Structure 1
Amino acid sequence: MKINILVAEIGSTTTVVNAFDGIFNGRPKFLGQGQAPTSVLEGDVNIGLKGAIESLKENLGVDNIEYDELIATSSAAGGLRMTVHGLVYDMTVRAAKEAALGAGANIKQITAGRLRRTDIKKLKEINPNIILIAGGVDYGERDTAIDNAEKIADLDLDVPIIYAGNIENQEEIKEIFKDSKNKLYVVENVYPKIDQLNIEPTRKVIQEVFEEHIIHAPGMTKVRSMVTGPIIPTPGAVMLSSKLLKEEIGDLVTIDVGGATTDVHSVTEGSEEVNRILISPEPTAKRTVEGDLGAYVSMKNVVERIGIEELSKRLNISEEQVNKLIENHKPIPENDMEKRFVEELALEATITAVDRHAGHFRHLYGPGGKKTVAEGKDLTNVKYIVGTGGALTRLPNRVKIMKKIAESNKGNDLYPNKEAKILVDNMYIMASLGVLSKKYPESAVMLMKESLKID
C-alpha cells in the first residue's frame, strides 16, 4: 500500500504512527493509526517504531506499506533538556523560560544573576542539550550575561548555545564563543523592554536546534536516517497545532495528559478587564509542563495527591483492590476498572495542571484600602478546551473530566468558564498535525477540524 505521509510520535511510554493520504492534492485523509510500547529501555526506539508500523499494517489490513515521506515528533527519554540563565527571574529569566517551554523543552535548571559554583556544578551534572543565555533589556545591564557566557564557555561542553539577551552584547558574546566547541545562535532579546515579551524568535530557534543537533534517546540516530522530514519535540508540535487552530476558531487551551507529564498549552490574549490589572505580561501562546503529573510513569505521584482512601471511595472498591490496581498498572488500561482508575488519575492531573498554568486574582491591602490585581495567565476568554494525548482522547469519561475544570474554580482563579466548549482530538493526531503543518498547513487545518468534529 502506498501512502503519502507517515508521522511517527515517539512518546515516553507509547510510539504512535499515523498514516495520511491526499496531502499532495488538497484532499487530506487520515487512513489509520498503529501503536506499540516505546522501546527506550531496550536501548533502541526503532523497536517501538517498527512495532507501531506493524500495528498500522494490521489495522489497515495490508501486508506492506510504502510512503513518500516520514516525519516525526519525539518526547522519549525525557525530551529536550535545557538550562536557562538570565538576569532577573521575574523578567528575562521568565521570558526565556516561556520560550523554552513553548518550543517543547524540559527546563532542568533556571538561574537568575551571575552563575555561582554550585550552579556550574549542577549545569555539568544535567549535561543539557541546549543552553539559553538571556539577561538585560536592550541597552540596559550588560555584565551579567557576559560573565555567565564566559563561565559557560570555560566548561568546554559540546552543547549548542542560544543567546537571547541585551542586543548590545551580541558581538561580545560571539567573541566569547568564537573558539569554543559550542555552536552559537544569536537571536532577538526575549525581553527587549520592560513589560514586553518577545519569545517567538527564541522559540523558533530552539526547535531548529533540536532538529539539527539533538539525538536524545537510544536509537534516534537510526530514526533520523529513516525520517525524510523534520523531527520536533512532541510538545512543540502540539503548540504549533494549537496556534494554528486558534487562528481558525478562536482562543483555546489544549491539555495533554501523558504517561509521564501533563502539558497545558494556551493560546489567548486574555480579557481586556484582566489585562488592565495584570501585574506582569504573559505570552499569547504559553505552555506549562508538569513532570510530576502523568497516568503511567508519574502515576504514584498522582495517587499520592489523591490518597488511597479517597481513591477507594471514588472507585467504590477496597483499599486492597486499589493497591492491586497500582501494582498491576499498565501503559494502556484494558478492563473497565483499570479505565476508571486512569480516569481518576487523569482528572487529578488535569485540574492540577490547569491550576498551575492559570493565573489568579489577588487582593492587596494598603493605605488606600483593598486593591485587586491579576497574576499569571488569564484563561477567562478561552472559547474551547481541547483534549489530546492518550488519556483525554480514549477514556470513556474524557469530556466529563474536562468539564470539571470550570467547575473546580474557587472564585479567584482565571480558569476557562463553563461556556467553554469541549473538543476532543478523536483521531489522536494533534501532535502529528503540528509537525505536518510546517510543510502542509492547509491540510493540517482540514484534518484538525475533522478530528475535533468542527464544521
Structure 2
Amino acid sequence: MNAYLLLDFGSTYTKLTAVDVDNEEILATAKDITTIDSDIMIGFNKAYEELMRQLEGKEVNFVKKLACSSAAGGLKMVAVGLVPDLTAEAAKRAALGAGARVIKVYSYELTKDEIEEIRGLDLDIILLAGGTNGGNKQCIIHNAKMLVEGNINLPIVVAGNKIANDEIREIFKEAGFYFSITENVMPQLNSLNVEPAREEIRKVFMDRITDAKGLSNAENFINGILMPTPAAVLKAAQVLGQGSDEEDGIGDLIIVDIGGATTDIHSIGYGEPTKGGVNMKGLEEPYAKRTVEGDLGMRYSAMSLWEAAGSRKMRKYLGDTERKIDIESSCKYRNQNIRMVPETEEDILFDEAMGKVATELSMERHCGTVECIYTPMGAVYNQLGKDLMEVKYMIGTGGVLVHSSNPGAIMEAGTFDKENAVSLRPKNPKMLIDKTYILSSMGLLAQDYPDKAVRILKKYLVEV
C-alpha cells in the first residue's frame, strides 16, 4: 500500500506517523527522544524501528516522507516595526503565525544599545517591518542601515512600506546580507496582511535554517522539512476549521497545545462581536491566530508558570489533598527534571493543576476583552481582540491532556468564567483530544491532500 511518513522533530520527542493515503487511515505512530545535541537520526531511528515493528506483516511503500521541526528551540525571531501597537504588533503576529518563537519586538528607530542586544540573542531570522504603504519610510531604512552597521548578518525578511524596498534592497545587497522582500504586513492603517510574510519566513526556514539546526542529516532520508511544527499545527487547524475544496470544515475552533516549555493557543475564526452594540477597537485580528506563552510550560517553564499564576491559583486547582503540597519545590523539581513522567497520584494531580493554570492564563491572554466606557451619551462597549465566546470546538493536545483521565476538566479552565466576564473566552465548546498526536502531521499532509487531511482529522480527534 502507498503511505506517507510524516515526522515531527519536536523539542523533546521525535514523533512519526504512517498514513495510508488511499484508505485515509493512520497505520502506526511512534516516538522517541529527540537527539539534536548528538545526531538527530539516533532518536529518529529508534522511533522508526518501533514504527516498522508495528507495521510488520504489511507491505508499506512510503511514497513521501515529510517533516516539520521545533528542535533546538524551534524558529527564533525578533520583529522590528514602527509603532508598537501597529506595525510592530503586525510583524509579531506574522512571525507567530509562521511558527516562530518571537524573542523580542522592537519599535521606532533601533538604537546602538538595541543592536548590541540583538547581537547577543540566539536568533534565526529578523522580520523587518515599519510604515504603511506610502507612509513613513525613514524608520525602516534607518533600521536596515543599523542592522548592517552592527553586522547583524542573519536572514532578514523585509515586510514594510513598499516605497522603501528599493533603497533597502541596495543597502542589504551592498553588505552581502541574505534577505528577501515580501508584501507589507500592514499596507493600510489597522489592516493586516500577514500571509505573504508567513510564507516567506517558512521558505527561509526551509532554505537556510534546517542545516543550522543539525537537521541536515535527516535530509538524506526525507523529502523535505517543510515548516516549523507550530506552523504545521496552525495549518491543520485552518484546514479543519475552513474545510477544503471537497470537504466541509467543522467551523470556528481553538487548539490548546500544552508543552514542556510553552503553551500555544491557535484560534480559527474572525472573532467579531457576538453581542449587539459592541464596537471593534484596535488592530485587526488575523483569521488564523497563534499566541505563544513562553512562561507557561510544564517542565522548562514550570517555575515561571508558578510565578505567573501565584500559589493561590495553583491551590484552587489542586483542591483538597491529604497533605499540603509544596508548590515551589514541585515546580522546581519539574524544571530540573524535564523528562519527568508523573507516576504517583500526587504527581499526576499536580501536573493536571499546572495544565489547568496554563490553559486558563494562555486562553485569557489569547482571547479578546470587552471594556465599558461611560460617555455623556451613555455607556459604550469596545472590544479589543477576538470574541471567541461562540467557538464551536476546543481541541487539546500535549502530554498532560493526552494522558489525562479527565482532559475535559483541564480544558474547562480556559472557558468563560462569570468572575472574569470581560474575557471573551468560549462559553460551551465541544471538546476534542488529539490522542494520537496527528495535528502536526495532518498540517504536513494538507500541503498535498487537504481533503484527506480534513477527513482524517475528523475521524481521529476524540470527543471528550
The alignment's TM-score, normalised by the length of structure 2, stands at 0.89
Q: 1:99 matched to which residue of 2?
A: 94
Establish whether residue 242 from structure 1 lines up as the match of residue 252 from structure 2: no
Q: 1:32 matched to which residue of 2?
A: 28
Establish whether residue 417 from structure 1 lines up as the match of residue 424 from structure 2: no
Match of 1:228 among 201, 223, 226: 223
2: distance between equivalents of 1:178 and 1:317?
A: 67
Establish whether residue 285 from structure 1 lines up as the match of residue 288 from structure 2: yes
- Offset of 1:255 from its aligned partner? 0.9
- Percent of paired sites with the same residue: 35
Q: Secondary structure of the residue that 2:187 maps to in structure 1?
A: coil
2: distance between equivalents of 1:217 and 1:354?
A: 33
RMSD (CA atoms): 2.6
Q: 2:246 matched to which residue of 1?
A: none
1: distance between equivalents of 2:263 and 2:432?
A: 17
Q: 1:15 matched to which residue of 2?
A: 14
Contact 1:133 1:162 in 2 (8 A): yes
| Distance change (3 Å), C-alpha of 1:59 and 1:311 | farther
Cα distance per residue 1:209-230 (max 9 Å; x no partner): 1111113775312123322133
2: distance between equivalents of 1:437 and 1:207?
A: 15
- Offset of 1:181 from its aligned partner? 3.2
Match of 1:307 among 308, 311, 315: 311
Q: 1:147 matched to which residue of 2?
A: 142
Unaligned 5+ residue runs, structure 1? none
Q: 1:347 matched to which residue of 2?
A: 356
2: distance between equivalents of 1:317 and 1:181?
A: 65
Farther-moved stretch of structure 1 (228-237 vs 262-271): 228-237
| Distance change (3 Å), C-alpha of 1:233 and 1:218 | closer
2: distance between equivalents of 1:191 and 1:380?
A: 27
Q: Secondary structure of the residue that 2:131 maps to in structure 1?
A: coil
Establish whether residue 254 from structure 1 lines up as the match of residue 259 from structure 2: no
1: distance between equivalents of 2:408 and 2:183?
A: 41
Q: Secondary structure of the residue that 1:356 maps to in structure 2?
A: helix
Match of 2:370 among 361, 364, 375: 361
- Offset of 1:66 from its aligned partner? 6.3
| Distance change (3 Å), C-alpha of 1:340 and 1:372 | same
Q: 2:46 matched to which residue of 1?
A: 51
Q: Secondary structure of the residue that 1:17 maps to in structure 2?
A: strand
5 Å matches for 1:391-406? 391-406=400-415
1: distance between equivalents of 2:134 and 2:317?
A: 59
2: distance between equivalents of 1:325 and 1:102?
A: 30
Contact 2:187 2:193 in 1 (8 A): yes
Q: 1:318 matched to which residue of 2?
A: 323
Contact 2:210 2:225 in 1 (8 A): no
Contact 2:125 2:155 in 1 (8 A): yes
| Distance change (3 Å), C-alpha of 1:230 and 1:162 | same
- Offset of 1:107 from its aligned partner? 0.8
Q: Secondary structure of the residue that 1:278 maps to in structure 2?
A: strand
Q: 1:374 matched to which residue of 2?
A: 383
Contact 1:102 1:287 in 2 (8 A): yes
Unaligned 5+ residue runs, structure 2? 243-248
- Offset of 1:371 from its aligned partner? 2.4
1: distance between equivalents of 2:331 and 2:273?
A: 47
Q: Secondary structure of the residue that 1:94 maps to in structure 2?
A: helix
The alignment's TM-score, normalised by the length of structure 1, stands at 0.91
Between the two proteins, the alignment pairs up a number of residues equal to 448
2: distance between equivalents of 1:203 and 1:113?
A: 22
